[in-house]
Amino acid sequence: MSSLMNAQGIGGLIFIVLFGGFAIAYFRMWRWVVGPDGNQGDKDS
Amino acid sequence: MRETNAEKEFAYEFPTAAGIRYRVAIGILGVLVLAGLVAWINQLIFGLGETGMKNSVNWGIYMTNFVFFIGISHAGTLISAVLRLLNAEWRRPITRVAEAITVFALLLGGFQLVLDSGRPLRLVNVFVLGRLQSPLLWDLASVSVYFASACFYLLLPLIPDLGALRNQPGLTQLQKKTYAALSSGWNNSSRQQQRLKRVIGIMAILIIPIMVSVHSVVSWIFGLTVRYMWHSSIFGPYFVVGAIFSGVAAVVLSVAVMRRTMRLEAHLTALHFNKLGALLLVMACLWFYFTLAEYLTTGYGGMTAELAVLKMKLSGEFALAFWAMILCMASAFVLLLLRKKSVIGMTTAASALIVVGMWLERFTIIVPTLTKPLEEGYNFGLYRPTLTEWVISSGSLAGFALLLIVFARFFPIISLWEIQEAKDPTRESNIGCTAPLISGAGELVETNV
Amino acid sequence: MDKPSPNRVKHSMTRRELVQIGGAALGVAGVGSLVHISLAQRASRSSPPGRMAMLIDLRKCFGCQACSVACKSENGVLLGNFRTWVGQSYKGKYPRVRRHFLPRMCNHCEKPACVKVCPVGASYKRADGTVLIDKNICIGCRYCMSACPYGVRSFAWKRLPDQEVAYPSQTLGVVDKCDLCVHRLDKGLVPSCVNTCPAGARVVGDLNDPDSEISRIMADQPVQTLAPELGTQPNVYYIGLDQDAAEASLESGVRMIPAQATNVTDRLGSE
C-alpha cells in the first residue's frame, strides 16, 4: 500500500481519472438537461 | 403593453452600451495586468531571485495570494448552493455574480502556483509523475474538480437566460453566436425545466463537500508538515471558515460595485446587504473563535519553538501585520453589528476590511513560521516582498476584476429566470425563445409565450 | 422519427467502435508511458541497500569551516547557498564562556519529510539510505524546503551562467542540498567534507554494516541527533551535542554566520 502512495505516476493517474470522471459526468448531465426532447428514452431520473 | 410599477422596477437593462466608466475600468485594469505580465516575464528570465524570497522564507506572497484566491472562491458555493438548499429567496439576484467570482478566483488562484514555480514548464510532471502521498497533489486534484464543478454550476443556470436573450437587440455577433452555442438545445419546455432544476439541485448538494475538501486540503499543505505553528490540527476547519468568510465579503464588495455602476439598485437592495451582513457576522464569530483557540493553545502550552514563532506575530517582526489584521476584523465586526444605521454602506465597508484582513491572515500564517529571528544578512533576516512581487500580485488582482467586469458586460449578471420564478411560482418561468423579460430599452415587454 | 435504415445503423456502429478503440488505445498509451517513466526512474535510482549515515564528533570540531568550503568547491554550490556549514553559538559570560560548533547538513533522515511532500517525486530516498534530488524533474515548488524542519535545503534563485557551465547540476529554479557526495560514494571515495576535515571529526559509513568504522564508534559512544521528537529519524549523529546549542541552531536560523554567533545564555534567560 505504501508503495502505491509513494510511487510516481499513480497520483497523477488518479488525478486524471478523478478530474476526467467529473468532467464526463458534468457533460452528460448537461446533455441530459438540454438534450433532445420528445419521446426518445424516458430518462426521467 | 401593461407596465405596472412592479414590473417597471424589475427592468434590468441588458445589454447596455459600454459607458465611459467601463472603458476607464478596463483601461486601468488592463494596464495593471500588462505590467504584471511584464514582471512575470522578467521573473521567468532572471529567476525567482527577483522576488524577496530566500532559502529560509521560501514561500511569500505568491502562496499567500494562492490561499487567498482559493478562499475567495468559496463565495459562490455558499451563496449559490447552500442558500439554494435552504430556500433562502433573497439569494436570487446574487447567485450569478457569486458563481462567476468562484470560477475566476479559482483561475487566478491556481495561476499563483504557476507564478511561484521555479520551473513552470515542468508542471506537466505533476500529471505524469504525481505522487499520491503529497498534499500538493491532493490540492491540485481537489481544486481542479472544484473548478470543473464551478464552471458547470455557472453555465447551467445561465442556459435559460441565454436562451431567452439570444435574439435580444444590441448583442454583438460574437455574443449571439456564443449564446446560441451555449444554450443550444434549450427550448424551455417543462421537461427541460424540471431536468434543469433537478441537476441544479444535485450540483448544490455535490459541490458542498467538494468545497469543504478544497480548503481543507489547502490548509493541510501547511498542517501536515512538522513546522512550528503550522502543525496544528485546527487548520482544516480554520481555513474553511476563513475561506467562506472572505468569499462572502468578496461577493458583497462585487455586488456593491455592480449595484452602482450598472444601476441595479432595484434588484440589489438593503435587504440583501442586511442578510449578507448577518451571514458575515456569523462567520466573523466563527473566525474569532478559531483564531482564539489557535493562539491560546500555542501560547498557554508554551513549547519553546512554537512560542518563538508566536512572539514574532504578537510583538516581534510580524506584529504590524498581525495587529493590522485584528484591527481590520474587529472594526468590521463593529460595523456589521451596527449596520442597521446604513446597511449598504457599512456592510460594504466591513467587507472591504474583511478582505484585507483575510489576506493579512494568510500572510501571518505562512511567513512567520518560515522566518527565523535572525539578523539581517544576504540570505537571512526578514522577508520583504520586492517590486516584482507587488506588480505581479496587483496584476493578478486586476486580472480577476477584469474577468468579472467583462463577464458582467457580456452576460446577464443577474439570474433573470430565477427572479421570474420567484415572482410567480405557480406558473412556469416565462422565458424561452420567444418571450424576453427585458428589452434593450430597459422596459419590460410582455409577450405571449 | 423514422425507423433508421440498416445502412445508417451499421455506419454509426462502426464509428462508435472506432471511437472506443481509439479511446482504449489512448488509455493504454497513457498508462504505458506512466509505467515506463516510473520504471525508468527506478532504474537510475537503484543502488545497493544500506543505511548511510554520518557521525560528527563535536569534541574535535573547532569551527574552521574547511568542510563548508570543500563542499562548495566540490559541488559548485551557488552563491548564498550552503550544503553544509558550521553553526556557532556560545554559552555563558566572560570569563566563564564556551563556544559550541555545530556542523550542519542534510540529515538523510529515515523518514524524510521532504520526500513525503514532493508532488513529483524529485525528492527520493535511495536504497542505500541517501536522500537525493532529481534535478531533471524538480518543478521548483519548494514544498520540500517548507517541510524540512532542519532548513538544510536551498534553492537556485538566480541565474548564474558561469556556474551553470561549470556545474550543470546547479540549474535555475530547482532545489539543492547535500547529497553525501554520491558521485564520490559510488566510486568508493568519502564525501569531500569528510575528506577535508583537519580534525577528522566527520565519519561516514553504512550503519547496517556492523564492521564499518561508523558502526564501531557508535557502538561505544553515546550519540545525539537534532530534534528527535519530530519523527524524522535523522541519520546524522553527533557526539557531545549540547542541547541548548542544538535548539539554538534550529530556532535561530538555518545558517549562523560565525561572526555573529548566537548567545544561548541570553536566549535561555529571556523568557
The CATH architecture one would assign to domain C51-270 is 2-Layer Sandwich (3.30)
A2 vs C268: which has the higher pLDDT = A2
> Cell for A14?
488518479
Phi-psi category of residue C183: left, alpha or beta, with phi > 0 → left and psi -120 to 50 → alpha = alpha
What percent of chain C shows pLDDT beyond 90?
Answer: 52
B-chain CB neighbours of C140 within 8 Å are 48, 117-119, 122
pLDDT at residue A9 in the model: 79
List, in order, residues 6 or more apart from B309 with CB less than 8 Å away. Answer: B228, B229, B368, B369
- Confidence band (pLDDT; 50, 70, 90) for B155? very high
The CATH architecture one would assign to domain B5-423 is Up-down Bundle (1.20)
B57 vs C42: which has the higher pLDDT = B57
In whole angstroms, give the CA distance from residue C211 to residue C136: 36
A-chain CB neighbours of B196 within 8 Å are 33
- Confidence band (pLDDT; 50, 70, 90) for B376? very low
> Cell for B391?
506588480
Q: Quick one: CA torsion of A13, A19, A24, A25, rounded to 10 degrees?
A: 120
B touches which chains (3+ CB pairs under 8 A)?
A, C
Closest residue in B to A38 (Cα–Cα): B191
B-chain CB neighbours of A12 within 8 Å are 126-130, 137
Q: What is the mean pLDDT of chain B?
A: 87
Of A8, A12, A16, the CB nearest to C41: A8
Per DSSP bridges, beta strands C52-57 and C202-206 are antiparallel
Residue C39: burial class (beta carbons within 10 Å; 0-12, 13-18, 19+): exposed
* ipTM field: 0.88
B94 CA: distance to closest CA in chain A (Å): 23
B227 CA: distance to closest CA in chain C (Å): 6
pLDDT-wise least confident of B188-202, B412-426, C226-240: B412-426
Q: pLDDT tens digits for C136-153?
A: 899 999 999 999 988 889
Q: pLDDT tens digits for C189-246?
A: 999 999 999 999 999 999 999 999 999 999 999 999 998 989 999 999 999 998 887 8
In whole angstroms, give the CA distance from residue C153 to residue B306: 21
pLDDT at residue B302 in the model: 81
**pLDDT score of B265 more than 60:** yes
**Angle at alpha carbon of residue B397, lines to B392 and B399, rounded to 5°:** 90
- Average pLDDT on B142-170 reads 91
pLDDT at residue C1 in the model: 44
Best mutation target among C31, C142, C270 (most B Cβ atoms within 10 Å) is: C142
**pLDDT score of C109 more than 80:** yes
pLDDT at residue B183 in the model: 86
C38 vs B90: which has the higher pLDDT = B90
Distances (CA, A) of B127 to A15, C35, C115, C230: 7, 13, 18, 31
Considering only CA atoms, which of B45, B108, B111 is closest in space to residue C173? B45
pLDDT-wise least confident of A18-22, B142-146, B408-412, B429-433: B429-433
**What's at B231, amino acid-wise?**
H
In whole angstroms, give the CA distance from residue B408 to residue B25: 13
**pLDDT score of C259 more than 70:** no
Instruction: Kindly report the backbone phi and psi dihedral angles of residue B277, in degrees, each rounded to the nearest multiple of 5, phi listed first.
Output: -60, -40
How is chain C split into domains, by residue range?
1-44, 51-270
- Confidence band (pLDDT; 50, 70, 90) for C100? confident
**What's at B297, amino acid-wise?**
T
**pLDDT score of B127 more than 90:** no
Best mutation target among C19, C26, C34, C36 (most A Cβ atoms within 10 Å) is: C34
Best mutation target among A4, A14, A15 (most B Cβ atoms within 10 Å) is: A15
B-chain CB neighbours of C252 within 8 Å are 372-374
- Confidence band (pLDDT; 50, 70, 90) for C5? very low
For residues B343-360, b (16+ Cβ closer than 10 Å) or e, as one string?
Answer: bbebbbbbbbbbbbbbbb
In whole angstroms, give the CA distance from residue B220 to residue C37: 28
Interchain contact, C34 vs A13, CB within 8 Å: yes
pTM value? 0.89
**pLDDT score of C169 more than 70:** no
Interchain contact, C247 vs B130, CB within 8 Å: no
Q: Where are the alpha helices (DSSP H) in B47-134?
A: 61-72, 74-76, 83-85, 95-116, 124-129
pLDDT at residue B380 in the model: 58
**pLDDT score of B447 more than 50:** no
- Average pLDDT on B287-312 reads 90
- Average pLDDT on B297-326 reads 90
Interchain contact, A40 vs C119, CB within 8 Å: no
B170 vs B151: which has the higher pLDDT = B151
Distances (CA, A) of B65 to B71, B106, B389, C141: 9, 11, 11, 15
Q: Where are the alpha helices (DSSP H) in B302-375?
A: 304-314, 319-337, 343-370
Of B48, B59, B125, the CB nearest to C139: B125
> Cell for A31?
446533455
Interchain contact, B117 vs C253, CB within 8 Å: no
